[in-house]
Each structure stands twice: as structure tokens, then as C-alpha cells.
């Protein structure tokens, strides 16, 4: 494990962050700027993205803001071209863009299922396809961060599209980690497992379901994020420090993983039927 602080390792490096206009993504952007990194920020919400970028530019940060639909391979390829045209290299890719859908698995409309799969999984794949070949060609030390969730370890009712994609992110990221080892590439891969972070991801999904319990569950998750959640900036600082240490498994709130992972592993080992742990 490296003992070089994040601020020292990442200063002057170029980072690409998807989903950078709000929440966890904007937290990564602000913390990266505090380290003196050069930023390429991507999001489909162009107005909000530009606001984040302008605020950082006003602080003297070098920022390229690119409206990007991560579900579109051509859009992500254009993002990579802009990044390399502006800075000549990319040292870190943070695949973060994601959306939520709430409701019974069979109740979520087909188009919403498709959107979540295209953004939360397809967007990450598109990011890897656009940036990994270029980063390998550079031959320099690099980092790829893939944002999953504690929901990638513990599936939940009423948010199966999110659970499916965050489980999928775990598989995609671990496969990528092994592939970098096979290539003996100087690229460190890390999977990020946020718990409650202050953001609007749950509020944005409210009202999509006709099930009252879904809205109540959504409200409970949003309230948890608002009350015990850490700020996106604090989340980013903790994540960057763990990445700087060389960690693959990265979580800013390890207590949530530590409390649940052993009982879950024992449930699987002992073939115990899953039981709902709360009332709906």
C-alpha cells in the first residue's frame, strides 16, 4: 500500500468524471480541483454541468465541460477526443453517472429498465471502451474508479434496476482489474461503494411508481441520506485517500459494509432463504 497522500499523488493529473453536475460526481470534481488536478467534466444535464465548471474556473481550475450522453458510445468517444485534445492525456477515469428507478420489478416500465441498464452499465462500458485503449497507449500510471454502491452488495426490494446495475458494476470492475493484471498495465482499478451521501438521487426517482410503499421507501432513503449521509466532498476526500493507498475495495463508510457482509456471506454459504429485514 502506498503512503503517498492523495494530494501529492494526484496533483497536476488529468481526471475525467462522468455524472459530474451534481451529487457524488460534483463532490469528486471539487475535491480533485482541491488537489490541483485538471478536470474533464461530463454530464447530460448541460446547464448544471456548466454551473459546476464555471464555479471551478472562477477558482483558477483548468476545466473542460462536455455535455455527454454516457449511454451513447459516440458521445463518450467524443468526450475522450475532447479530453485528449485539451490536455493530451488522461490519468484518471471516474465512471460515476447513474440513474435510479423505483417500484416492483414487474411494474417498472420497459423504457425505464432500458434507460437504467444503458446508463448505469452501458455508460461504464462505453467509458472503458473509449478511455482504456488510450490510457494503455500512454503507458503511464493511471487510475480507473468505478462507482458501484453498497446496493451492489445488498440487493433491495423496490429498486431492482439499481441493484442489478450496481451488482453488474462489481463484476465489470473486478474483471477489468484482472485484465489489467494480465496486461501488466500500470493502471490501478478501484470499485467505489458509497452508502448514504447527501444528494437528490432518490428525490429524482420519486413518483415513478404507483405503489404507495415505493414512495414511502423512497422518502425513507432520502431522509437517511439527508440526516446521516456525508457530503459529496467528504465522500470524495475519503475515496481519493483510499485510492491513493492502492486499494481496490473503496468505501467512505465502511461500517455499512462491515455490518452486513458477513451475515450475507453466511446466508449464502448456509443456503438460507433471504428474509425481508424491514416493513414496507
> Which residues participate in catalysis according to the annotation?
162
Q: Please, are residues 248 and 146 in contact by the beta-carbon 8 Å criterion?
A: no
* The three three-digit cell numbers of residue 29, written as one number: 470534481
Residue 39, all three cell numbers: 478536470
What do you get for the CA distance between the two ends of the chain, in Å? 43
The burial class, CB within 10 Å (0-12 / 13-18 / 19+), for 82 is: middle
Measured between alpha carbons, how far is residue 264 from residues 148, 157, 170, 261, 269 in Å?
18, 16, 16, 5, 9
Distance CA 33, CA 28 (A): 8
CA distance 240 to 145: 10
Query: How far is it, in rounded angstroms, from Cα 99 to Cα 111?
Result: 13
86: closest CA among 139, 15, 24? 15
CA separation for the pair 253, 251 (Å, rounded): 5
Amino acid at each position: 500500500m502506498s503512503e503517498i497522500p492523495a494530494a501529492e499523488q494526484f496533483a497536476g493529473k488529468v481526471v475525467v468524471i462522468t455524472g459530474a453536475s451534481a451529487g457524488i460526481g460534483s463532490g469528486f470534481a471539487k475535491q480533485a480541483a482541491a488537489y490541483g488536478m485538471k478536470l474533464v467534466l461530463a454530464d447530460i444535464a448541460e446547464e448544471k454541468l456548466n454551473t459546476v465548471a464555471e464555479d471551478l474556473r472562477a477558482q483558477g481550475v483548468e476545466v473542460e465541460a462536455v455535455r455527454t450522453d454516457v449511454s451513447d458510445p459516440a458521445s463518450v468517444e467524443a468526450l475522450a477526443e475532447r479530453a485528449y485534445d485539451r490536455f493530451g492525456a488522461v490519468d484518471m477515469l471516474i465512471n460515476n453517472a447513474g440513474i435510479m428507478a423505483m417500484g416492483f420489478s414487474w411494474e417498472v416500465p420497459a423504457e425505464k429498465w432500458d434507460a437504467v441498464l444503458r446508463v448505469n452499465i452501458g455508460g461504464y462500458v462505453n467509458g472503458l471502451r473509449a478511455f482504456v485503449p488510450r490510457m494503455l497507449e500512454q503507458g503511464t500510471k493511471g487510475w480507473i474508479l468505478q462507482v458501484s454502491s453498497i446496493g451492489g452488495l445488498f440487493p433491495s426490494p423496490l429498486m431492482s434496476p439499481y441493484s442489478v446495475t450496481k451488482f453488474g458494476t462489481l463484476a465489470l470492475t473486478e474483471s477489468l482489474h484482472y485484465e489489467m493484471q494480465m496486461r501488466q498495465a500500470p493502471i490501478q482499478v478501484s470499485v467505489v461503494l458509497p452508502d448514504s451521501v447527501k444528494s437528490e438521487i432518490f428525490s429524482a426517482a420519486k413518483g415513478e411508481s404507483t405503489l404507495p410503499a415505493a414512495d414511502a421507501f423512497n422518502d425513507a432513503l432520502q431522509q437517511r441520506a439527508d440526516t446521516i449521509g456525508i457530503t459529496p466532498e467528504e465522500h470524495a476526500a475519503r475515496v481519493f485517500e483510499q485510492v491513493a493507498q492502492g486499494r481496490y475495495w473503496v468505501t467512505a463508510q465502511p461500517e455499512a459494509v462491515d455490518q452486513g457482509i458477513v451475515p450475507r456471506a453466511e446466508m449464502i454459504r448456509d443456503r438460507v432463504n433471504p428474509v425481508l429485514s424491514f416493513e414496507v
